[in-house]
Structure formats: C-alpha cells, structure tokens
Amino acid sequence: MQTLFTTEQLTEPGLSIANDILRKCVHCGFCTATCPTYVLLGDELDSPRGRIYQFKDMLESGKPPSEKLVRHADRCLSCLSCMTTCPASVDYMHLVDEARVRIEQNYTRPLPERLLRVLLAWILPYPRRFRLALMGAWLAKPFAGLMPGRLKSLMKMAPARVEVASHMDRAQTFPAEGERRMRVALMTGCAQQVLRPSINEATIRLLTRHGCEVVIADGAGCCGALVHHMGRESDSHAAAKANIDAWHALDGADSLDAIVINASGCGTTVKDYGFMLHSDDTWAEKARWVSERTKDITEVMADLGIATSVLNDAPAVVYHSACSMQHGQQITLQPKALLETAGFDVRSPAEGHLCCGSAGTYNIMQPELAGQLRARKLGNLRATKAEIVATGNIGCLEQLSGDELHVVHTAELLDWATGGPKPPGLP
C-alpha cells in the first residue's frame, strides 16, 4: 500500500510505525474471510482491509476522526484473526492500537458513551471496586429490563452470586512441593480474581504440585488491556509500569524463571509491554525483560510435563481457543495436548478461529454483535456433544456461561486431573 506521510509526520514514533505497517498491506482481502464482523455484516468497512484504509486516511490527513470511522473502529473486536490469516504479516494489532489512541485524543463521543467508558475504566481494573459494583448490580438485576441500552446488558451480566475474595490472591509465596524446578510470579489479574477466584487457586495448586515456587508480587495489578483497547494510552502505560516494577522487585539474588499468566487476554498485553514502552528510555529495557519472561500457564505446564492423571473416567471436553490465545500469542497446540495427556477426550469446534464476542468490554459496548457471535459459538460448541468447555480466558468463560454447557478454565481441569478438587459448577 502506498502511503503519503510527510517527512515531518514520520518523526512521530507512532506514525512512523503505522507507516511501516500500512506499506505491508497488499489489499489481498484474505482477512475478510476470517473477520467476525465482516462475516456477520458483510460490510467492507467492517473488515480489517476496510478499517486499514480508514485508519490510513485519518493518520495521513491529520484530521479529527469522523463518526463513521469511529463507528467502524469500535466494531473491531481486536481478535487478531486477520493477523493469523494475513500472508503479508501486516501488524494490524499495533495499527488499530495507534488508531484508537488518535480517536481517544481527537474525537468527542456522545456523553452517555463517555460516561460508560469512564465508569468501566474506573471499576473493572480494580478488584475491590469491581466486587462492590457487582454486589450493587446483583441487587439491581431484577430491574435490568428498565435500564437503557448498554446498562441493560451490563446488569444482565451480573453473576448469580458474588464470590468472596480469595486469600491466595494476596502478596505471598507458595513453596514448591518436592524439589523446586522453577520460581515463577503469577499475575492474579483484576476481573478474574473477582469473577472466578477458583482459577488462580487451581493454577497455584497445579504449579506447586509440579515443582514451582509461586510468588504473588506486591503491587502487581491489572495488565492495562482494558484501557489500552479504549485508546487511553497514559492509563495503560501506568498499569504496565506498576506491574514491571512489582515483578522486577522479585528478581533479586533468587532469579525469576517466568511470569505466568492464566488469562490469555492479559498475556497478549503483557507480552507486548516491550513494544508498548519501546520509545521510553527509562522503561524500555525493563519492559522487554518482562515480555521475554511472560508465559501462559499452558506454556509453562508443557515445559514441566503434566503428572499422571488421577481420573479414572475423564469426561469429553471441547476446547475453545480464545482469540488472544490462538491469534494474539499463537498458542494452539499446548492446551489441547495437555488436556489429552490428562486423560480428557478433547474435541474441537467448527469455526474455532471466530471470536465468541467477549473481547474485553466488547460484549458491553457492542451487545448486539457480541450476542450474535455468542450464539454462533455456542451452536458450534454444542455440536461437538461435549458437556464441558475448556478455555484459557476469563472473558470467554463469562461470555459462554449460562448455557447448558459447563465452561471452566483449562488450569482448573488440569488441577482436577492431577489431584485437585473438581472445578466448581461441574456436575
């Protein structure tokens, strides 16, 4: 793709990177076949290729983004399926990130939308605030039908019960069982520890059982993905820096072998810290250090090797690969191989590359499209005849729950198979 940035524009790091990305696109259109919004809507402007043209025009002209551009940009799930498909290796992820920063800085959204975005950014990344908000939403749930638009969707998502905070999410060290093979930091996250504290608990048991010393760092919190995808660059960088400092503090005389993430949406973001802060001389090296050591829980378990299963008759499981897992991190084989080694009959759904509609806060911001994608995904999962869905991302888990299928985290199943308790909610 030919670009027309001026020499002065290319002195800006963000525009220089965008220029390099845009010039790789060859207009082939392969991305349209795997883009969830194009599959649903059939609109070129809601395809990666269409969005790339719109972003190019906005960035080159320097003009404020139009309502039309923002509408089509907001419909993008950042599922990154287009990057898996693209034969030219176009880095769509960093292009859409740059576009969202420009939109946030130069476009004034309608007041209700601005308030909703501020509310989400103020609540979701903070476990205490989020837990209190869920309690309020639970009390108001009977009146969800009276709420306007997106608030109605938000109220309906409130869980049937609000979990008590787990003592295992506090800053502390869990010793390895037997000989120590690794020393790792576990990111406990934000929304996950509120919505499903059993995931972190299962992960800690699984790691310590397989010879890992697990450290929960004091000061580590939200990865920053939520505000990052809203274009709130300063907020996302602040979250990244807090985590980087917290994990660096653990790597003293006793080195840290890995930073373990058990929410793939967070993993994709933390692995990108090195890029996010590459132009910040103070933080660039430390950010790269974190990105290089970050691993999904299934990557670590694949290196360690799974213990012999204690289950005599493991049930059939359909594996739902989160977009952030298969497209964001290119992790496709390890989760299924681990589940099979643990004795489960692992099945794969049709259209496994398509997003379930969760995508961070997408199911709140774009409830209609998210609902269509959820229904499509559930249909494909049910067709496998497996009663249990395994996934590695809390957003997908919450999005797909509420059906007759039992949705659990991959780490919970691996913990159960190697001596831990049965995951909550399973019959």
d(CA 417, CA 307): 9
3-state secondary structure 165-213: CCHHHCCEEECCCCCCCEEEEECCCCHHHHHCHHHHHHHHHHHHHCCEE
- Residues 374-403 have a mean pLDDT of 95
The one-letter code for the residue type at 356 is: C
Task: Tell me the per-residue pLDDT of 265-281, one tens digit each, with 9 for 90 and over.
Answer: 999 999 999 999 999 99
For the cut 90, the answer to whether the pLDDT of residue 182 exceeds it is yes
d(CA 210, CA 410): 16
Helix or strand run (H / E) with residue 408: strand 406-409
Task: Tell me the per-residue pLDDT of 93-116, one tens digit each, with 9 for 90 and over.
Answer: 999 999 999 999 999 999 989 999
The radius of gyration computed from the CA coordinates of the chain, to the nearest angstrom, equals 21
For the cut 90, the answer to whether the pLDDT of residue 407 exceeds it is yes
Predicted pLDDT of residue 159: 73
Predicted pLDDT of residue 328: 97
For the cut 70, the answer to whether the pLDDT of residue 351 exceeds it is yes
How many other CB atoms are found less than 10 A from the CB of residue 404?
Answer: 7
Give this prediction's pTM: 0.94
- Say which DSSP state 44 is in: G
Task: Tell me the per-residue pLDDT of 43-55, one tens digit each, with 9 for 90 and over.
Answer: 999 999 999 999 9
Instruction: Give residues with Cβ within 8 angstroms of 375, minimum separation 6.
Output: none
Predicted pLDDT of residue 147: 65
Predicted pLDDT of residue 203: 98
DSSP 262-320: SSHHHHHHHTTHHHHTTT-TTTHHHHHHHHHHEEEHHHHHHHH-PPPP--SSPPEEEE-
Task: Tell me the per-residue pLDDT of 203-258, one tens digit each, with 9 for 90 and over.
Answer: 999 999 999 999 999 999 999 999 999 999 999 999 999 999 999 999 876 799 99
SS3 227: helix
Residue 118 near residue 44 (C-beta atoms within 8 A): no
Higher pLDDT, 383 or 159: 383
Predicted pLDDT of residue 253: 65
Residue 104, classified by CB atoms within 10 Å of its CB into exposed (0-12), middle (13-18) or buried (19+), is middle
Q: b or e along 177-200 (b: 16 or more beta carbons within 10 Å of the residue's beta carbon)?
A: eeeebbbbbbbbbbbbbbbbbbbb
Residue 215 near residue 250 (C-beta atoms within 8 A): yes
Q: How many residues does the chain have?
A: 427
